[in-house]
Every structure is written in C-alpha cells, then in structure tokens.
Amino acid sequence: MKNLVIGFVALIFAVAISSCSKKCNNEQPRARVLNNGTSSVSVGIKTSNGNTVNINNVAPQAASPYASYAAGAITFTISVTVNGTKTDYVKDVTVGNCYDYDIAIDASNVITVKAVDRNA
C-alpha cells in the first residue's frame, strides 16, 4: 500500500511538472517590428489562406505590438521609405505555431527576421 501511495504521488508530481513546462499551447505565430532604422516601416503578413495582417507606420526607434496570424506559408512584405524612395523587401517563410518573429531594421536599414520559440 505504501508503494502505491508513493507511486501515485510521483505520478501527480510528474504530471504537474510536465503541464507547467509549456509556455505556449499551440497558439498562432506572432510578429512585431523593431525599427532601429532612419524612417518609418510597414509590414504586410500574407498567410497561405489569403488573409493579410498589416503592421503599419512603425516610427524610427520604436517597436510595434505583436500581431497574430495563421501558421503555414507566409509572405512578409517589408516596406521602407528612405529619402522619399519606397522599397519593398519580400521574404517567404514557413512558420509554425508557438513562434514569435522579430522583424528588425537596423540603423543602416538592413532587415533581419529572427524566430523565437515561445516554449524555449
């Protein structure tokens, strides 16, 4: 009987630990813009189901809030205007649930996209 109680307590403890380890429960991916560039930036996020989520007019030295969208094949269209000239940068990626994407523009207006696993 004592071994049964110890086994039951161990099982409850293991379930409690495993349920607390995940920070994300199959939630949609999210993206935000970190603009350290010299002009405002807009990003269009087109999903494989045809929907588009826009993050518009992120000022220099600012960050946008996160925007959620469906996982799958995604096209990021990043629009930067420098000295009156608008340039679009297009990046096709496949994204999964439980990831955040930081679309960062540096002081030289160079763009990087970094994926962050919310369960890490």
- Domains, the chain: 26-117 (2.60.40.2890)
Name the token pair of 113: 């996209």
CB atoms near residue 75 (< 10 Å): 14
62-100 pLDDT, tens digit each: 999 999 999 999 999 999 888 888 899 998 989 999 999
Report the relative pairing of strands 52-58 and 72-82 from DSSP bridges: unpaired
Half-sphere exposure of 95 (CA within 13 A, CB side): 32
Q: How confident is the model at residue 21 (pLDDT cuts 50, 70, 90)?
A: low
- The confidence band for 20, taking pLDDT boundaries of 50, 70 and 90, is low
Which pLDDT score is estimated for 32? 97
Give buried/exposed letters for 8-35 (b at 16+ CB in 10 A, else e).
eeeeeeeeeeeeeeeeeeeebbbbbbbb
